[in-house]
Chains A and B, each alone.
Chain A
Amino acid sequence: MKEVINLPVRNIEEEEYHINMGPQHPSTHGVLRLVVSLQGEIVKNLKPHCGYIHRGIEKMCEKDTYPQIIHLTDRMDYLSAHINNHAVCMLVEKALEIDVPERVQYIRTIVDELNRIASHQLWWCSFGMDLGGLTCFFYGLRDREKILDIFEESFGSRLLHSYYTPGGLMMDIHKDFQKNVKDFIKYFRKKIKDYDRILTGNIIMHERTRGVGFLSKEDAISYGVTGPSGRASGFACDVRKHHPYGVYEKADFKEILLPEGDTFARYMVRMHEMRESMKIIEQLIDNIPAGDYSAKMKAVIKLPAGEYFQRVEAARGELGVYVVSDGNKTPLRMKFRSPNFSNLGVLDHISRGCKIADLVAIGASLDYVIPDIDR
């Protein structure tokens, strides 16, 4: 006698077609996993799964002294390592109420902006590559190399510098630093026109990005999307303007705000920001005052008991460092409000209803760096 098998009735319409984008996928820029539910090619919803390279930096910070923490912050958002260092250094300086020499402020601001350009260049590479234009990748890296060479000459390393220390800098800038930076600005002003010609003006790129992944201003604020992605939605969130640090007050620059809120706007904000950063550097580079490259610091840095918060504008958005100190040389709790972590939260919201190809473009325009999400 044959056994009767009752097959479940399958409703094709309601069944979800899941795709695991990642952890190994070319367009997630690292080990991020997006579980995407599809209907045909259209994204119904997606769930980000992160934590594949969670290293517990916040836990490690609780065991480290403040100068030792600096090298850990390098490894969060490795593309804006200097800016991350800057946040922690400023926090310690603010807690100890130390006046940092003017020279240090200038150098830090210039190096931050160089780092921002380098980071945006890499973003441009990967944006072009995610859209399918592989050549962009090499042009971006070619020009980024020039900045990395300047970094290497002055600070000894290309990516993870640990150049700032609480109270100042590890060492003074190289004697050729100013000349090299000026040469680079001259070089990059020429090359950025190529960027515009090959990608910004391209009709395929316009079609791919215009009106894709719309994020309204209200949502940007509510989701805490900061940095270029937030400013593309009209959210005035530039920490350099609203809570100035370093010597940004002395430089004349615009906060780029675009109202469109789509992928193309996020692209354009970054392109403009590279130019603004060059403007800032040009204004400051000749005016670096002479002086000491570090303030006098005690051998053991102990923060007075209390809570401190420092915000900086990292390349991808607002980086917040929150420290609870109990008066010891190690913090009781150190929390990094990483820009990418908040920016990732919005991905599900803005990619619903778009196609897989759009999802890749949106992901590229949000420009996440996975170690910064996972920390």
Chain B
Amino acid sequence: MNFSIYDFTSFNQWIDKFLNDNLNPFWAVVVELTIIGLVVLLFYALVGLFLVYAERKVCAFMQNRVGPNRVGPYGIFQTIADLFKLLMKELIHIKSADTFLFNIAPFIVIIASFMAIAAIPFAKGLHAIDFDIGILYVIAVSSLGVVGVLLAGWSSNNKYSLIGAMRSGAQIVSYELSVGLSLLTIIVLAGTMQFSQIVEGQANGWFLFKGHIPAFVAFVIFLIASTAETNRGPFDLAEAESELTAGFHTEYSGIKFAFFFLAEYMNMFIVASIAATVFLGGWMPFHVGGWEGFNRVMDFIPPLFWYFGKTAFIIFLMMWFKWTFPRLRIDQLLTLEWKYLLPINLVNILIMAFVVLMGWHF
């Protein structure tokens, strides 16, 4: 048995073999699923907490502030303190709310983001499920979250919430198109929807560079559209605190509010990791076709590091957007999608198909 931080395949096989040796096959699968579930849950909570902290620090530095600095050194335990505060807060019962839907909405939101994590490859072999339609699955699952948002807005029986939820509905329906189409551009180039193969396909250069202009356009569109899809940055119309106080989660308190909050950050993490995987090679180190020595040096940096570095970069970009731009109006949001992003995207796919057909990519 030998495992390294460069390849987790043998480690996984070792666990699988160990369980199968000691248990009957059914229980081995159950134990494996439980382990994966627990690991993902733990990962989810940790990343969520870290992202909240990171966001607060990033925005603080952009605004000439220090940010959280009271709980622990440099305030690193601030979000944990916040979590405890939210856990202990009263869950306010809304009298005229649709109680069942009101309670179920935060879970729908959080489950949608939870499911998407399963398909994301973190490193070679560190991959919960490797679907052959991985991208399709992630797009399908991550857009389920809007159902939760709509239910939350509707069931709160609050006018601000309803307006926020309706805005969010309109927003996701339109921007889902751009997200899908921009990923489709890369699928045309990669020729597969399986995440592991997409990553492998970037062994001699990331798709962003291999697909040059059309890939770059698709990357920019994906960044914009995915920011919109996660209800963040200049597209946080569903929350829009200066207009709708807090939008769809106005009436939520305590841990239910924390679920929405956490789901927002996890969605951000998910779209960032999709962008990193599809455009920037996922865990694949920075390779240039033909430069063997250079590639060797790059290989020396562990894949997990590459993966989280790229994801953090995309997340930083999204935070940068959020803390710089004013918010769009709902009609401008839809104009941006239907008049600019969608037509450009369609043309871009054609160009990409042409490029692939003629073999003009690297």
Contact-size category for A: 20 to 34
Which of B167, B245, B326, B330 contacts A133 (CB under 8 A)? B326
The closest CB in chain A to the CB of B162 belongs to: A17
Q: Does A356 contact B (CB under 8 A)?
A: yes
Q: Count contacts on B: residues with CB < 8 A to the other chain.
A: 28
> B328 contacts which chain A residues (CB < 8 A)?
204, 207-208
Select from chain B the residue with minimum beta-carbon distance to A36: B159
- Interface mask (A203-243 → B, CB under 8 Å = 1, otherwise 0): 01101100000000000000000000000000000000000
A207 contacts across to B, CB distance below 8 A: 328-329, 332
Quote the shortest CB–CB distance from B337 to chain A (angstroms): 14
Q: Is B31 an interface residue (CB 8 A)?
A: no
**Which residues 219-278 of A sit at the B interface, judged by CB distance below 8 A?**
none
Contact A208 B326 (CB under 8 A): yes
Asked if residues B240 and A132 are in contact (CB atoms below 8 Å), the reply is yes
Asked whether A132 lies within 8 Å of B63 as measured between CB atoms, the reply is no
- Majority secondary structure, A binding face: helix
Are A41 and B323 also in contact (CB < 8 A) when A138-B63, A357-B240, A357-B243 are? no
* Contacts between chains A and B (CB distance < 8 A), count: 80
Query: By the criterion CB–CB under 8 Å, are B59 and A135 in contact?
Result: yes
Partner of A132, one of B160, B167, B245, B327: B327
Q: How far is the CB of A25 from chain B (nearest CB, A)?
A: 6
Q: Flag if B244 contacts A356 (CB, 8 Å).
A: yes
Distance between Cα atoms of A355 and B333 in the complex (Å): 13
Are A208 and B329 neighbours in the complex by a CB distance under 8 Å? yes
State whether the Cβ of B90 lies closer than 8 Å to any Cβ in chain A. Answer: no
Q: Which parts of B59-83 form the interface with A (CB within 8 Å)?
A: 59, 62-65
Residues of B within 8 A of A (CB): 59, 62-65, 159-160, 163, 167, 234, 236-237, 240-245, 323-332
Is A157's beta carbon under 8 Å from chain B? no
- Nearest-neighbour CB distance to chain B for A354, whole angstroms, equals 10
Known contacts A27-B242, A356-B243; is-contact A19 B59 (Cβ 8 Å): no
Among B160, B237, B327, B332, which residue has its beta carbon within 8 angstroms of that of A19?
B160
Q: Does A358 reach chain B (CB closer than 8 Å)?
A: yes
B330 / chain A contacts, CB cutoff of 8 Å = 41, 355, 357
New A-B contacts (4) at CB < 8 Å, excluding given A18-B159, A25-B245, A132-B325: A27-B243, A134-B63, A135-B323, A137-B63
Residues on B with C-beta less than 8 A from A136 are: 326
Given contacts A41-B163, A132-B236, A135-B63, contact A360 B242 (CB under 8 A): yes
Q: Is A202 an interface residue (CB 8 A)?
A: yes
CB-CB contacts below 8 Å: A256-302 with B: none
A139 touches B329 (CB 8 A): no
A135 → B minimal CB distance (Å): 5
B299 to chain A, nearest CB (A): 40
Contacts of B323 in A (CB 8 A): 134-135
Does A122 count as interface, using CB distance less than 8 angstroms?
A: no
Cα of A141 to Cα of B323 in the assembled complex, Å: 16
Q: 4 closest pairs, A vs B, by CB?
A: A132-B327, A131-B326, A138-B63, A133-B326
Considering only CB atoms, which chain A residue lies closest to B327 in the complex? A132
> Does A49 reach chain B (CB closer than 8 Å)?
no
Chain A residues positioned under 8 Å from B331 (CB to CB): 355
Please determine whether B241 and A26 come into contact, CB atoms closer than 8 angstroms. yes
- A305 in contact (CB, < 8 A): no
Across-interface contacts of B64 in A (CB, < 8 A): 138-139, 142
- Which residues of A, 188-212, contact B by the 8 Å Cβ criterion? 198-199, 202, 204-205, 207-208
Q: Are A358 and B329 in contact (CB under 8 A)?
A: yes
Q: Does A371 contact B (CB under 8 A)?
A: no
Q: Which residue of A lies closest to B330 (CB)?
A: A41
